[in-house]
Structure 1
């Protein structure tokens, strides 16, 4: 599967999960919904790995990396996301999550000594500016303690997810099998969310409404299993810094769905923002060395 197709799969699916998450709210605590989602997704992923005869035995070193990745990427990060969306609009949460691109660039520099080149900085900068323009009315109207709690949770989710990306990159570097890593990580992250629900004194309940069940299945199968498999495969090929740019493209899809299903009104800022984000997307993913070779310019 090509890098472009992996990128498109992750972007389109995660762009729709912001809307799907809103159907999870009700009698079920947010952390319990996170637990149900990732426990189900993890079990399905491990069953698939068993069927396809993937290596399921891990070394002690691999288990440490898998556990840390699962707790960060599928546990703490998503509990913060679900909490944030109870206090702020999903569009604003998408904006905050796009900051992960910058965190990834810095993290790759600190963890692996990767150079932050001008192309990456320009692409990430245009993406962040674009998303900010698209959602400027929401950003400009944040107010109240609950709203700022949502902002804090959103920023925390992006930071924790970025650290999880760095751990995932390390796991790929040492040869930990990808799909079993995702499966075990989801089970561990879901277990942490379930433990948090119990220890925080919240009730373990389940919602049998059709919209809750449908959104849970979609989030588990598509938003978790398929999207994370595509994203982490892409990250293993092109690195956490470039693959993290999915977080900037995702809000564009979320915006389109919001317009269709939630009545989002398009403005001039919307068009300008999308233009900036798409331009940044192209710059970030462009293989400049290939173009230089084709044009006979060499590399620098």
Structure 2
């Protein structure tokens, strides 16, 4: 799927293309958090994410060049470096670090608060939330506070700090890319972001003294390849299609579907344990996200 031929017209009908894109953003993105944990068997967090985004960025940039799209300008590369450092270096790097000690399902439930953080960050640019959005932020933050009191995060202060940093840096990078640091148009911009963010992550890996296992275990290598092809390329392009052709609420629906899918996969496949209190906390977080998305104009 590509973004170059998309029409700006939004269609509320759920045609085959929209359904396929929804399946990609719901199921693929919902599964990537558990897959990250499998990849950690052989690939340390910063190395795993850095090599993943370098590979995906190189493939995407090669595709854009084959289609005749121009290279990003020097300024756009600088923007990609800043945004990639925040969103991928801090956001995805912190997520992988947190997954070393915290269950993947709880991690993605915490990440569900990111749309609320972005809405709050937009205040710096004069974008005030409506009443429904404000209510969603309040409810969601209560759910996150509940989540931090559960057994998963209580057992790992390191994991809690890592995922908090990840959410904050991802939110700041998202807002800056919208208002201050625009990337190159279309897929070229996201390819440059992945290349820059991947390089930063490999730098963090080197400074941290990470040592990947070689040869990697087959399950870890398969997980890494899944993250490159499905998580970074297919699902991302599906999301871009939804942004162009589907109602905004439908395009954002992954924010409250992914936590449920990730937690179910974590319990059923990953053998993770989620307490009743943590399930309740997740329910409160998701209610906040639903209110937030419903209140957006």
Partner of 1:35: 50
* Distance in 2 separating the partners of 1:199 and 1:274: 35
Q: Give 5+ residue unaligned stretches, structure 1.
A: 290-300
Q: Which of 177, 184, 204 is the equivalent residue of 1:168?
A: 177
* Distance in 2 separating the partners of 1:153 and 1:287: 30
**What is the alpha-carbon root mean square deviation over aligned residues?**
3.7
Q: Give 5+ residue unaligned stretches, structure 2.
A: 1-5, 13-17
Q: How does 1:181-260 map to 2 (within 5 A)?
A: 181-203=189-211, 205-231=213-239, 246-260=254-268
Deviation readout 1:39-76 (Å, 9 max, x if unpaired): 111111112212333x3322333222222111212222
Deviation readout 1:62-93 (Å, 9 max, x if unpaired): 22222211121222222211111112222222
Q: Which of 59, 66, 73 is the equivalent residue of 2:73?
A: 59
Judge which range, 123-132 or 176-185, deviates more. 123-132
Give the total of aligned pairs. Answer: 281
Are 2:150 and 1:139 aligned? Answer: yes
* SS across alignment from 1:116: coil
* SS across alignment from 2:184: coil
Aligned-pair distance for 1:243?
Answer: 7.0
Are 2:106 and 1:92 aligned? Answer: yes
Partner of 1:48: 63
- CA 1:169–1:71: 2 relative to 1, 3 Å: same
Kept in 1: contact 2:92–2:166 (CA 8 A) = yes
| TM-score, length-scaled by structure 2 | 0.77
- CA 1:277–1:230: 2 relative to 1, 3 Å: farther
* Distance in 2 separating the partners of 1:52 and 1:41: 17
- CA 1:163–1:275: 2 relative to 1, 3 Å: closer
* Distance in 1 separating the partners of 2:101 and 2:50: 20
Deviation readout 1:4-63 (Å, 9 max, x if unpaired): 84566333322111110111123432211112211111111112212333x332233322
Kept in 2: contact 1:28–1:206 (CA 8 A) = no
Deviation readout 1:252-275 (Å, 9 max, x if unpaired): 111222243245678876886676
* Distance in 1 separating the partners of 2:183 and 2:272: 44
- CA 1:25–1:272: 2 relative to 1, 3 Å: closer
